[in-house]
Every structure is written in C-alpha cells, then in structure tokens.
Amino acid sequence: MDSPENLKSAGVVEPHPAWQRVQLARHPKRPHSLDYIERLFTDFQEIHGDRLFGDDAAIVAGMGWFEGRSIMVIAEQKGRDTKQKVFRNFGMPKPEGYRKALRIMQLAAKFGIPVVTLLDTPGAYPGIDAEERGQAEAIARNLREMARLAIPVIAVCIGEGGSGGALALGVANTVLMLENAVYSVISPESCAAIIYRDSGKAEQAAAALRMTAEDLMSLALIDGIVPEPPGGAQEDPVAAAENLRLALIECFGELANMTAEQLVDHRYQKFRKMGSFFA
C-alpha cells in the first residue's frame, strides 16, 4: 500500500480521517445490531409492537441474558441485503419504533432490569407518515423518560449515530462508541448541503462536525471507545463482539453499586455538563 507521502507526490489527496471513519461506519459488511445480539446475549426473546399503532422493524427490542444477568436490549437494525433494508426501513425508525423502545424501557424499570441500547441509524425516518404520527414528540418523550429511568442504562454507538434518531436511545449512564463509529447531530452530506450549499463537500463537513469517537471523547460527550480489529469490525466480527463484551462487563461493574436515585442523578449530571465551557 502506498504511503501518504507517495500518494501526495503522485497528486492523490488522502481522504480526511473523519471521512474515512464515516466510510467504515457505513461499510456494507460491518456488523449490525443483530450480529452483536447473537454473539453477546443468550436466550434473546424479541418483543414487538408499541401497543398504539404497530411494530417498527427498524428497532429490535427484547429480553436476554448477559454474563448471568437478565437484560433488556434495544437496538437499531439497518438490514444487510435489499429485502432486509426495505423491511428495516434502512435503519430509520418511525414513531412506533421509539414508542416500542420506551415501552421496553419502562418494562425494564418496573422489574429493575438494566438496559443496553445499540445505536446504528442514519437518522429518524423523515417521511410524511412518520411526521403525521408524531415523530418529534416520540423522540422528545424518549429523551425525557430515559433521563428518569432508575436502572442502569448503557448506550453503544456501533456504526452511524445519526441525529435525534440515535439520541432517542442514547440518554444513558454510560455512552460507548466503537472505534470506527460516528455520532453526530447530522449526516456529513446534509450538513454540507445546508452549510456549504454543496452536498459534495461532505468530507469537509465530516471534519468540521467532530463526529469521530476520538473527537467526542476529547469533548467529554462519550465515556469510552471500544477498540476494533485492524481494518474495522467487518474484518473480524467475532473479535469486535468480544471487545464490546469486555467493555460492557466493565461498565456494569461500575454501575452495579449505584442506587436508583444515584443512577438518575448520575445520568442527569452527565448530560447537564455537556456544552458548558469556561474561560
């Protein structure tokens, strides 16, 4: 492989590291939520429907076991081939998906079961039907109710963490990101179209958004980075899952001794500090 110096001398411009991470986060062979659920959780039983409108296949939710403890898992699923992508709506949840997630969280709180959420979406679905059924309200309600959950909540961004579509499942005591995941208020293409009036400047927008795991860690917006195998999680999904397993074990160990009140206060203080800057 040519070095960056050889590429520059040949007139080839190396992509910005942030844009490279975006491409890895979107890699067609990158492990998705169901791949991690299969490798990390045993006896997983999926729960369907929001008891209001219907079931949203873009969000997979259910109960399983992790290292001997019962656990609720809520995950965004993109789909692998064309048929799956259409079925999963390309990983873009609709209001019923977020309401299903909230139903599962409230069930977990009732029985004192920890929650793990897996974030992997380009964003919430922006279609007319989703807006008619209260997309913004569903996301806002999740943000509020997640802040009140008196149970341990861990969120992991495994691929794309797109805007409120991901944040609606991301109000957690501990927020982790895989090494090559990205987490941002907007996609680089949409940001470029708005800010630069040119969606072709997505690479420039990706750098400006500070959306990589290292950027967000330096800004204290996430709590940890889960390493990936060389070349990305798609090169060795088993190793990637094992790294995530070890990270989750450590996180649960840190949260295990907190009372319900401490968990809520910990989550509140964590997000309250974000965006506070002093001269």
Q: Is residue 22 part of a domain?
A: no
Question: Which pairing describes strands 59-66 and 69-76: parallel, antiparallel, or unpaired?
Answer: antiparallel
Q: Is residue 104 part of a domain?
A: yes
Contact 224, 216 (CB under 8 A): no
pLDDT of amino acid 163: 87
Q: Which positions ≥6 away from 148 have C-beta within 8 Å?
A: 264
pLDDT of amino acid 7: 45
Task: Give the chain's domain count.
Answer: 1
pLDDT at 245 over 80: yes
Detail the DSSP E strand segments found in the chain. Answer: 42-46, 59-66, 69-76, 115-121, 153-162, 174-178, 182-184, 224-226
In angstroms, rounded to a whole number, what is the distance separating the alpha carbons of residues 17 and 206?
9
For residue 267, the 8-state DSSP code is H
More confident residue, 8 or 45: 45
Token couple for 108:
């977990």
> pLDDT for 148-201, tens place per residue?
999 999 999 999 998 889 999 999 999 999 999 999 999 899 999 999 999 889
pLDDT of amino acid 148: 95
pLDDT of amino acid 276: 66
Q: Is residue 85 part of a domain?
A: yes
Q: What CATH number is given to the structural domain containing 179? A: 3.90.226.10
Q: Which domain holds residue 93?
A: 30-271
Q: Is residue 12 part of a domain?
A: no
Q: Is residue 149 part of a domain?
A: yes
Q: Is residue 117 part of a domain?
A: yes
pLDDT of amino acid 269: 92
pLDDT at 12 over 80: no
pLDDT of amino acid 278: 62
Q: Is residue 94 part of a domain?
A: yes
Average pLDDT over residues 54-67: 96
pLDDT at 3 over 50: no
Q: Model confidence at 238, in pLDDT bands (50, 70, 90)?
A: very high
What's the predicted TM-score (pTM) here?
A: 0.91
Q: Is residue 221 part of a domain?
A: yes
Contact 263, 269 (CB under 8 A): no
